[in-house]
């Protein structure tokens, strides 16, 4: 599985409006690689991971996307060493705290990799069109 790079984008800590730009860029890159449902899932998951990185760290994020003939892998690197903690939201939390639950539920695979500077939270979607 030798991935080909699709996207590499830096998002500054104060660029919360860039989450929508990242979503649109990923959508455009995936238009001929997968169906509309997978594109919607990819957009949702990347926006959750980028938003988490911008809210919970102070140094922005780097978003990468790679693809093989049948799989997409998206990683969001931030520059904080703290690993995401499992969190179970309650009714009083509103929409807060559901990002990683969505990632766990909708991605075919996901994980966290420690790096020398921070970490990468990633997800994969399988079954793309060959």
For residue range 1-60, what is the model confidence (pLDDT) as tens digits? 456 678 999 998 877 788 999 999 999 999 888 889 999 999 999 999 999 898 888 889
Total count of domains within the chain? 1
Beta strand extents in the chain (DSSP E only):
4-11, 61-67, 71-78, 109-114, 119-126
- Which CATH number fits the domain that encloses residue 21? 3.30.565.10
Name the pTM for this structure: 0.86
Tens of pLDDT, residue by residue over 35-44, are 899 999 999 9
Domain that holds residue 63: 4-126
Tokens of 113: 């990799």
- Write the CA distances from 44 to 10, 62, 66, 74, integer angstroms: 18, 17, 17, 12
């Amino acid at each position: 599985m030798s991935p080909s790079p699709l996207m590499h984008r830096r998002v500054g800590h104060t660029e919360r409006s860039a989450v929508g730009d990242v979503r649109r860029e990923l959508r455009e890159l995936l238009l001929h690689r997968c169906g509309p449902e997978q594109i919607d899932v990819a957009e949702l998951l990347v926006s959750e991971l980028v938003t988490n990185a911008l809210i919970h760290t102070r140094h922005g994020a780097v978003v990468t996307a790679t693809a093989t003939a049948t799989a997409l892998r998206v990683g969001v690197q931030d520059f904080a060493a703290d690993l995401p903690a499992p969190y179970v939201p309650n009714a009083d939390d509103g929409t807060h705290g559901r990002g990683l639950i969505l990632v766990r539920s909708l991605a075919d695979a996901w994980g966290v990799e420690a790096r020398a500077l921070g970490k990468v939270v990633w997800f994969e979607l399988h079954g793309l069109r060959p």
